[in-house]
């Protein structure tokens, strides 16, 4: 067996095993109710990859299974980001409405840019226009995903909200994968600097990195801090608020 084949196999099998473990751990820690979409994603991917592994010698079945499941996977990955946004915003009832509205507005703007990029790309001049169209469409979706993640992280950091452990892990994993995939799709679909084989190999590597990040957050035993706040500190927060409000309304 060639070294390249071994690497390809390792990159294929690793996420199947690791994501199955993540799914089991999530079920065991009762995280399924908290992150149902991410759990579905974690179960669907190993199932799909196992199915693809079985039918890998039948090109038509492989291609059909891959593209059909890819559409579901991409939709689910967007659903996971929605789930994380909802999960991190939910405890703050006073900003729920505005934060969600802001997220949807940002998503709409990113979708518009993604559509413009998709429509402006010349794909009919390429040898396989259908394949080019699919790749450009995927690039647009990854762009939307990346923009949504940027908005989520910015919103959290600008408002000074606290990241929850698992939400931070899911976001980091998806962020790394989205960024890497976006680079690769740009290099392949727009710039044509890499071949399809290299795209598949590097994409698989990026996905492995994301799965390892999720595993670090989900599988690693979580330290219980047990910090309790017995009293609140004396602050001048209401005075700061008054001063800032007064300044803004001068």
Partner 1 sequence: MITTVIIGCTIAALLLLLWRLTKDSTTGTDPLRMWEAEGHKVNVDAFRLLVDPDEAVFLWKSVPTPVFRRLQRKRIALALHSVHRMAGNAALLIRVATLARRSEDAQIASAADQLMFLCYRVRVNALIAELYLVLRWIFPAWAIRVPMALDRYERLLQVSVSCAPISVSFPAKYS
Residue position matching structure tokens 């600008």: 158
Question: In the bound complex, what is the minimum distance in angstroms from residue 231's beta carbon to partner 1?
Answer: 7
- How many other CB atoms are there within 10 angstroms of residue 63's CB atom? 11
Question: In the bound complex, what is the minimum distance in angstroms from residue 154's beta carbon to partner 1?
Answer: 7
Select 56 or 96, whichever has its Cβ closest to partner 1: 96
168: which 2 tokens? 């931070």
Select 16 or 167, whichever has its Cβ closest to partner 1: 167
Binding to partner 1 in span 85-124, by CB under 8 A: 91-92, 94-95, 113, 117, 120-121
Residue 179 lies near partner 1 (rule: CB under 8 A): yes
Residue 3 lies near partner 1 (rule: CB under 8 A): no
Residue 162 lies near partner 1 (rule: CB under 8 A): yes
Residue 238 lies near partner 1 (rule: CB under 8 A): yes
Q: HSE (CB half, 13 Å, CA atoms) of 248?
A: 6
Question: In the bound complex, what is the minimum distance in angstroms from residue 3's beta carbon to partner 1?
Answer: 30
Dihedrals φ, ψ of 231, to 5°? -150, 155
Contacts of 95 by beta carbon, 8 Å cutoff, 6+ apart: 89, 159
Burial call 81-116: b when 16+ CB within 10 Å, e when fewer: bbbbbebbbeeeeeeeeebeeebeebbeebbeebee
Select 5 or 225, whichever has its Cβ closest to partner 1: 225
Question: In the bound complex, what is the minimum distance in angstroms from residue 126's beta carbon to partner 1?
Answer: 16
Binding to partner 1 in span 203-232, by CB under 8 A: 223, 225, 227-232
Question: In the bound complex, what is the minimum distance in angstroms from residue 179's beta carbon to partner 1?
Answer: 5
Binding to partner 1 in span 21-60, by CB under 8 A: none
The answer to whether the CB of 131 falls within 8 A of the CB of 200 is: no
Q: DSSP for 166-178, please give it.
A: HHHHHHHHHHHHH
Integer angstrom CA distances of residue 234 from 123, 149, 207, 231, 238: 63, 35, 47, 9, 11
Residue 194 lies near partner 1 (rule: CB under 8 A): no
Dihedrals φ, ψ of 195, to 5°? -85, 170
Q: HSE (CB half, 13 Å, CA atoms) of 139?
A: 25
Residue 125 lies near partner 1 (rule: CB under 8 A): no
Binding residues for partner 1 (CB under 8 A): 91-92, 94-95, 113, 117, 120-121, 139, 143, 146-147, 149-150, 153-154, 156-163, 165, 168, 171-172, 175-176, 178-179, 182-183, 186, 190-191, 223, 225, 227-233, 235-241, 243-245, 247-250
């Amino acid at each position: 067996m060639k070294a390249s084949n071994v690497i390809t196999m390792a990159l294929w099998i690793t996420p199947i095993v690791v994501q199955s473990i993540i799914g089991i751990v999530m079920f065991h820690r009762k995280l399924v109710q908290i992150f149902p979409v991410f759990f579905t994603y974690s179960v669907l991917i190993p199932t799909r990859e196992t199915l693809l592994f079985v039918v890998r010698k039948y090109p038509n079945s492989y291609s059909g299974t891959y593209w059909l499941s890819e559409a579901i996977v991409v939709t689910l990955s967007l659903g996971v980001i929605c789930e994380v946004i909802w999960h991190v915003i939910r405890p703050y009832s006073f900003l729920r409405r505005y934060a969600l509205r802001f997220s949807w507005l940002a998503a709409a703007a990113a979708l518009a840019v993604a559509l413009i990029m998709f429509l402006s790309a010349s794909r009919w001049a390429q040898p396989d226009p259908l394949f080019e169209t699919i790749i450009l469409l995927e690039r647009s979706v990854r762009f939307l995903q990346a923009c949504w993640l940027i908005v989520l992280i910015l919103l959290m950091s600008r408002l000074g909200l606290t990241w929850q452990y698992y939400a931070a892990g899911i976001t980091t994993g998806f962020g790394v994968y989205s960024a890497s995939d976006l680079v690769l799709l740009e290099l392949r679909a727009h710039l044509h600097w890499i071949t399809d084989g290299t795209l598949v190999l590097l994409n698989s590597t990026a996905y492995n990195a994301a799965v390892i990040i999720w595993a670090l957050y989900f599988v690693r035993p979580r330290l219980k801090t047990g910090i309790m706040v017995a009293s609140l500190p004396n602050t001048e927060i209401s005075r700061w608020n008054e001063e800032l409000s007064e300044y803004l309304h001068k």
